[in-house]
Structure 1
């Protein structure tokens, strides 16, 4: 006989659990503690099974009957409702355990295992922090609109380049999730073109010889920390990226043979890079050794020798000297060297690009053109240091056609 709401409300617990049937396999199980639980008893593939349909009164009589009908429809379709429920729970659990943040961290750990540059790892973690609004969401459930909202929020702050970088980083995470069986698609793909294109920014650099000379004189007069001064004095000569210089270790230098070998893990292109050392740079390095010793970090942090100088130290020094961010940056010194060396007409573009540790933009040419141009680069670095000395001393340099520079004092 079918149950009624009145009967159910008046059912009282007994010393042992008992059942009250509603028909068609649906029954209410009353426990000694007072709980009333809906159950559906059925057979599937010759086995007796039962399916929990909820707790009364959270699930009323009408609700329990609707759930019963749904379960019976599955049985008629040849599916086991209990097995299907377990499958859905497993999928939900799998998705919950694979959030965007979980997969992103796994992806970054893989980058660490591949010995990617420290700066690359730091940037990846920073980009992940900017995508915090979707960090805890199951990666398979994230929709394009959710990502768009985050990116537009970043864009609204005037950080267009960051928004584009975040989209690109998120795309790599979604593609990694798909490749490892935890995602279904890359929802950022359709967002291409939806963000405002960022303005291309170039590192501020001095390109006039007279201005370069004034900068070098100002550096020599810098009254702050001696290590910072020496970093600024060396940087224009060696043409490396700021991070490659400030993280240098004395074990990388062979002063006797005038060469500095930057290890692959610190290079942007993941290849070791050799830098010819001019007489002037050797002199600066000898002065540095008298301050730091001949082992460990070449440019240690002010408060501890176990860490390197901060990435902002040199640029902050330029600001204290009166040079704004649109005039001079540590990275911009590479632009200064590239521009003036190319304008001199003395050196092959290949040698200059090799000293800047740039990869050949022509992929096929890059495979076959592996010459190190070491002889030319050694001569070029010494000429460049001599040229910088002339600018610092106030020699006016006038470019001539061909392969020469005219030098005259004002």
Structure 2
């Protein structure tokens, strides 16, 4: 997503009139840079509100390692808004049938309903290669593609903005250093 698409996303999200938990899920994705599937199957037990972190267990992660993401004040506020809707259950975003968790397709449909364009993906695109191209002049990235930025590229972008990788919960810096989990 380009800067103007990101701005349009947030404006459309404020005006979204669908299920409130869907809007909160999209907001959480944009605030944590998690994948849509990670948000969809997030469980309340994974969140430590005192430590302000989201601990995703290794069995849920592609790399098969625990992943810890810090939670901003905005992310914590979104979670507080979600509590009255789903805190009684296991999942933040339960499936409407009451069985299991919601599907990432629901998020894609919501994005389509917001009229953000035919190839708009859920807001992990804030960290997409299209955004990387804007910041790094990488001409190989095409706006609107579904290709995600790698952890290393994200770390490089953050470094150019003076943000240490460990602040974002990344476990790899642009120079290859790893941070403990």
Q: TM-score, normalised by structure 1?
A: 0.35
Quote the Cα distance in structure 2 between the aligned partners of 1:336 and 1:227: 27
Pair 1:347 & 2:163 matched: yes
What RMSD, in angstroms, separates the aligned Cα atoms of the two structures? 2.9
Pair 1:319 & 2:115 matched: no
Displacement after TM superposition at 1:337 (Å): 10
**How many residues align structurally?**
158
Displacement after TM superposition at 1:326 (Å): 2.5
Aligned to 2:102: 309
Sort the Cα spacing of 1:270 and 1:361 in 2 relative to 1 into closer, same or farther, 3 A: farther
Any conservation in 2 of the 1:236–1:337 contact (CA below 8 Å)? Answer: no
Any conservation in 2 of the 1:240–1:334 contact (CA below 8 Å)? Answer: no
Quote the Cα distance in structure 2 between the aligned partners of 1:314 and 1:298: 14
Quote the Cα distance in structure 1 between the aligned partners of 2:168 and 2:100: 30
SS in 2 for 1:256: coil
Aligned to 2:83: 289
More strand by share: 1
Residues 277-305 of structure 1 deviation map (CA, whole Å, 9 limit, x = unaligned): 0111111101111111254101101221x
SS in 1 for 2:104: coil
Quote the Cα distance in structure 2 between the aligned partners of 1:231 and 1:303: 18
Residues 338-363 of structure 1 deviation map (CA, whole Å, 9 limit, x = unaligned): 74672762224x448853x6x6899x
Q: For structure 2, which runs of at least 5 residues remain unmatched after alignment?
A: 136-153
Quote the Cα distance in structure 2 between the aligned partners of 1:280 and 1:353: 14
Displacement after TM superposition at 1:214 (Å): 2.0
SS in 2 for 1:283: helix
Q: Which has the bigger relative contact order, CA under 8 A and spacing at least 6?
A: 2
SS in 1 for 2:63: coil
Sort the Cα spacing of 1:360 and 1:345 in 2 relative to 1 into closer, same or farther, 3 A: closer
Any conservation in 2 of the 1:301–1:308 contact (CA below 8 Å)? Answer: yes
SS in 2 for 1:312: helix
Displacement after TM superposition at 1:336 (Å): 7.4
Any conservation in 2 of the 1:315–1:330 contact (CA below 8 Å)? Answer: no
Aligned to 1:243: 37
Pair 1:223 & 2:17 matched: yes
* Higher CA-based Rg: 1
1:370 aligned to 168, 178, 181, which one? 178
Any conservation in 2 of the 1:263–1:273 contact (CA below 8 Å)? Answer: yes
Quote the Cα distance in structure 2 between the aligned partners of 1:338 and 1:240: 16
Sort the Cα spacing of 1:294 and 1:253 in 2 relative to 1 into closer, same or farther, 3 A: farther
Q: For structure 1, which runs of at least 5 residues remain unmatched after alignment?
A: 1-205, 375-410
